[in-house]
Amino acid sequence: MLKFGRICRSFAQYSKVSNSVSKTKPEIPKLKSLNDNASRNDKALTTFQGPSASGSGNNTIKLGLALTLGVVIGSLSSAYSISEKPPPFLFPKSSTTPLKGIIAPQYANEKTIEQCRTKLEQVLGKENVVTTEETIKSHNDTYWNSHHPESTQFPKYVVYGTSTEQVSEIMKICHEYSVPIVPFTGGTSLEGHFISTRSGISLDLSRMDKVLELHKEDLDVVVQPGVGWETLADYLDDYGLLFGPDPGPSACIGGMVGTSCSGTNASRYGTMKENVLNLTVVLADGTIIKTKQRPTKSSAGYNLTGLFIGSEGTLGVVTEATLRLHVKPPFQTVAVVAFPGIRNAASTVADIVGRGLQVDAMELVDDNMMRYINASGETTQKYNEVPTLFFKLGGPTKNAVDDLKKTVKDIADHYGAVKMHYASEEDEKLELWNARKVALWSTINYGRESISPDIQVWTTDVAVPISRLPDVLLETKKDIDSSGLPSSMVGHAGDGNFHVFLLYKKDQHERAARIVDRMVQRAIAMGGTCTGEHGVGYGKRGFLLEEDGHDTVDLMRKIKFAIDPKRILNPDKIFSIDPNDDPLNPLVHS
């Protein structure tokens, strides 16, 4: 009977869910076992109906016993039948979740959001729930963001979390009230990842900024999501260690996990996917999970760590990360190599990778970017304003580095290098590499000072197989030059990833958007991806469909709905979660 009770409750729950999410009531098939039991009950009733009026009292008792016995037997039979062969309507029929077959998410209204705020203030204290206009705006947009929110898309308030347990309480409360949550750490993302499309809350984790454990002998470190990678690099430098990924300044570990970013060291040390050992994650309902233990290899169960890396806060909120570390090369130099054209530089990259040479970093900067760097005043040297490769060349001995320098020089000379300069001292090495790291800011400063103080910047990235890098770079540069818009290009060339910074005035937005569209479609046509490290966010959802196809994206949506059925975690990012929302023509949700 207990088994039957559980199945009845399960049946009722599934029926309720089915009716609430389906526009048409599903036809419930008749169960053979139930019909059979009904027949048996009818026979039992006939058997116990005696013709004698004098025995009516006894017959009534017998009738009651027969009915009870029939129901018990029939129920147990039905329970067995349902548990052994569950009817199809109890479970979804598809392995994927197409957008067309779902209903729109239901989120909290203004009154409920305020009730949620009151409860959050009771748990966290009013100082951790902020409603000032300045704070809200800073958590929803930046100058360099490629997609800017409408006023109706701003969060209602910003909530600060300071521990895994506290984040769990925040999630439980927001889940109870169906309030959307957008995680936030450094705020440096570029594709609209932290735009609050559904006017929920911004969950700021920047105060969770501690290095919790360093296991030097195991080459790993445990950190909170608000730790900046530059802060971590300074901390590890004292131990002769480094963390591979090094994206733009001010990026934090939480956002780096969310977008699976990389940086200039990717060709040597890989992306976040190769450098995260495990994660502590708080799910939408407040459940806390740890994706795995600390060993560098494990074949135990699903790769949940990989599932959350690159999920952009749509599946859970990362509150701790165990990161893989590397020993710093004892000897390293920086080389700057100038070329007459961008194909010469890109061909050099492809040749170096094709030979299996292991360089620590290999960055490609176009002629416009070199001009902007010279004009910025951020460096003391003046560089040739031509396509340029920046190298970090390291090794266990000075002789090994010297041999690598010679091989790289020979390859560069073969492709027409016009100048090659090596850093001889540590200060010069930092100076040369700083020219590469100020690329974005140099472009922005050039636009503001030389074009207009109100100039806009569109930053985007793609990646292609390394053999197609020369083609995609040359075609993209020709396309941008013919448009008349000022621009610059920089690439993590060692793994086929490059970025474009477009400068445009407000009335030139459509022209910039068309350039980006062609650039992404060109990369996909060459077997590449719509984003190498920036992430899909809000702006590239349509391109993800083009790259992976509807079935693959529908499977992603299936995973999202399974983990976050209320769809409160960073809604509308990566793919659509609302049948009224076309990823190619996204709506503004009020």
Please state the rounded mean pLDDT for residues 261-272: 93
Express each pLDDT in 554-585 by its tens digit: 999 999 999 999 999 999 999 999 998 876 65
Tokens of 453: 């103080």
- Sign of the Cα torsion 17, 21, 23, 27 reads negative
Cα angle 480, 485, 361; round to 5:
55
Q: Do 104-328+550-590 and 331-525 share a fold?
A: no
Express each pLDDT in 428-440 by its tens digit: 888 888 888 788 8
Give this prediction's pTM: 0.83
Per CATH, is 331-525 categorized as 3.40.462.40?
yes
Nearest to 283 by CA among 379, 159, 126, 167: 167
Q: Report the phi/psi class of residue 187: left, alpha or beta, with left for phi > 0 and alpha for psi in -120 to 50.
A: left
Domain limits of the chain? 2-93, 104-328+550-590, 331-525
Note whether 386 and 367 are within 8 A (CB): yes
CATH level 3 topology of 104-328+550-590: 3.30.465
Nearest to 558 by CA among 567, 568, 549: 567
Report the SS3 class of residue 394.
Answer: strand
Cα angle 190, 192, 198; round to 5:
165
R_g over Cα of the chain = 30
Beta strand segments in 295-360, E: 317-324, 326-327, 331-338
Does pLDDT of 588 surpass 50?
A: no
Does pLDDT of 257 surpass 90?
A: yes
Q: What is the rounded CA–CA span in Å between residue 290 and residue 304?
A: 9
Express each pLDDT in 112-129 by its tens digit: 999 999 999 999 999 999
State the pLDDT at residue 428: 85
Residue keyed to tokens 């793994």: 495
Express each pLDDT in 269-288 by its tens digit: 999 999 999 999 999 999 99
Q: What is the rounded CA–CA span in Å between residue 403 and residue 206?
A: 44
Q: Count other C-beta atoms under 10 Å from residue 362's C-beta.
A: 27
Note whether 300 and 292 are within 8 A (CB): yes
Note whether 570 and 313 are within 8 A (CB): yes
pLDDT band at 232 (very low <50, low <70, confident <90, very high): very high
Does pLDDT of 87 surpass 90?
A: no
